[in-house]
Amino acid sequence: METKAETLILFGATGDLSQRMLLPSLCALDAEGLLSDDLRIVGTARSELDDGSFRNFARAAIEKYLPDHRRGSMARFLNRLYYSPLDVTTPEGYEELAKKAGSEREIAIFLSTAPSLFKPTIAGLAAHGLADNNSRICLEKPLGTDLQTSCAINDAVAGAFPEDHIFRIDHYLGKETVQNLIALRFANAFFEPLWNAQHIEHVQITVGETVGLEGRADFYESAGALRDMVQNHMLQLLALLAMEPPSSFDANCVRDEKVKVLRALRKVGPEESVTGQYRKGAVEGQSVAGYDEELGRESDVETFVALKAHIDNWRWQGVPFYLRTGKRMPERVTEIVVQFRSVPHSIFPGAKLKQNRMVIGIQPEENITLSMMAKVPGIEQDGMVLRQMPLDIKMPDAFTGKFKRIAYERLLLDLIEGRQTLFVRRDEVEAQWRWIDSIRATWAEEGRIPKTYAAGSWGPSKAIALAERDGVSWHD
């Protein structure tokens, strides 16, 4: 579907995501002239606001979260906004919402509410003519806590919307640096011949965060690092990195290839996962409390996980993918390391050849570094002296004048314009959950308790051992 929505309805319009991401992103799109003149945005939530007070609310959020130079004419943006109060679990209010949305208009619906409200919301939308062929729906995570609950959500949505009208968000796919993985792999000729088990020894994906619980105790206690970060963001990174070349950038072509990778993930063995929970320590020079202290009680929820994953297909047989993510790590960094194999035979006796390695920095900065061996200049009588040299690309320097966008800008525009490539298809989500559930089942069987680690470290020492056993060091 590539028709443009004429109305965007935001459920959860007064919530945290709306304030920090959605309203600022929409304002930024408007400032750049990317929204049609007649796009109307209708916010809804339980708070009893009217159009005027919602506009004031939006102005405050934008002033707080969107840099001044990106705001454009705020008045024009605010004039697009309307508000209709609604308790999604009762029938009252839907009619008013439908009236504000405009029944003849093409509608995009964004649900950023608790998933427990998805079902009643969809029923209310369907009963008031808002779930028909002229509407599409966008869902925020968490889409369930396991395969079963995720299927229940997907079934409820599928009861009212066909799959090509359902847009599941993984905000990592909205990051330009993540999209650049697709460009690097498929707009350059030299990667593809090397991108396989014959030439790549292993891959590491790290998503380190310095933040802790951030006041999200209820949510985090029902998730933990595996479900919060690996099930979605890290598996999407892995799928983009490992997929076969799609025949086009079309939504189904790309997602067909990603889902094949996700389905080929081998069940993780008991010795192939490490969990951790942070204790007090220091992050970026500040002392911080332990997870149990922040929570006010003991808990078995992991704030760190490291995994050794395998993709059982021809391309990746024998190539381990080491994944790790954690809260209260020493730095905020998302990066991918691709370690190439040694040259098959060295003609430099005495020289210690280091393997080529490509490091793709996703955030906070996008840098690509390729380490290669080179001759140290000089005349040597005993043969060449070689040293590892970096070939460095600093993306911000390469593209000066370009600013960083909020990931939701791309995703909201694609939702409005009906492009699904950067949204997750049902079969992908389910393949992701199947693998995650099998890991959790192993943990449950063995009664796994996370190891502790000091805040500001790279997780428990067992995580280092997980890689070192194979002669691999994490890239810190």
Residues 350-369, interacting with ligand BG6 (CB under 6 A): none
Question: Hey, which residues does 285 pair with through a beta bridge?
Answer: none
- Is residue 302 within the footprint of ligand BG6 (CB under 6 A)? no
Minimum CB separation from ligand BG6 for residue 229, in Å? 6
Could you tell me if 88 and 109 are in contact, meaning their C-beta atoms sit under 8 angstroms apart? Answer: no
Minimum CB separation from ligand BG6 for residue 233, in Å? 6
CB closer to ligand BG6 out of 209 and 409: 209
Q: CA-CA distance, 328 to 210, in Å (whole number)?
A: 4
Minimum CB separation from ligand BG6 for residue 455, in Å? 15
- What is the SS3 assignment for 8? strand
Q: How far apart are the first and last CA of the chain?
A: 43
Minimum CB separation from ligand BG6 for residue 267, in Å? 25
Annotated catalytic residues are 233
Could you give the maximum distance between any two Cα atoms of the chain, in Å?
A: 88
CB closer to ligand BG6 out of 310 and 328: 328
Q: Which amino acid is at 255?
A: R
CB closer to ligand BG6 out of 86 and 234: 234
Other CB atoms within a 10 A radius of the CB of residue 285 amount to 6
Rounded to whole angstroms, what are the CA distances from 33 to 37, 68, 79, 102, 175? 9, 16, 15, 23, 20
CB closer to ligand BG6 out of 172 and 316: 172
Nearest to 28 by CA among 405, 465, 456, 368: 405
Q: At what angle do helices 235-242 and 251-263 cross, to 10 degrees?
A: 100
CB closer to ligand BG6 out of 227 and 357: 227
The residue of the chain with the least Cβ separation from ligand BG6 equals 228
Would you give the binding string for ligand BG6 spanning residues 216-235, x where CB under 6 A is met?
------------x-------
Minimum CB separation from ligand BG6 for residue 251, in Å? 22
Nearest to 15 by CA among 40, 49, 39, 52: 49
Minimum CB separation from ligand BG6 for residue 136, in Å? 22
Pick the binder of ligand BG6 from 209, 294, 302, 428 (CB under 6 A): 209
CB closer to ligand BG6 out of 178 and 416: 178
Could you tell me if 54 and 45 are in contact, meaning their C-beta atoms sit under 8 angstroms apart? Answer: no
| Interacting residues with ligand BG6 (CB under 6 A) | 209, 228
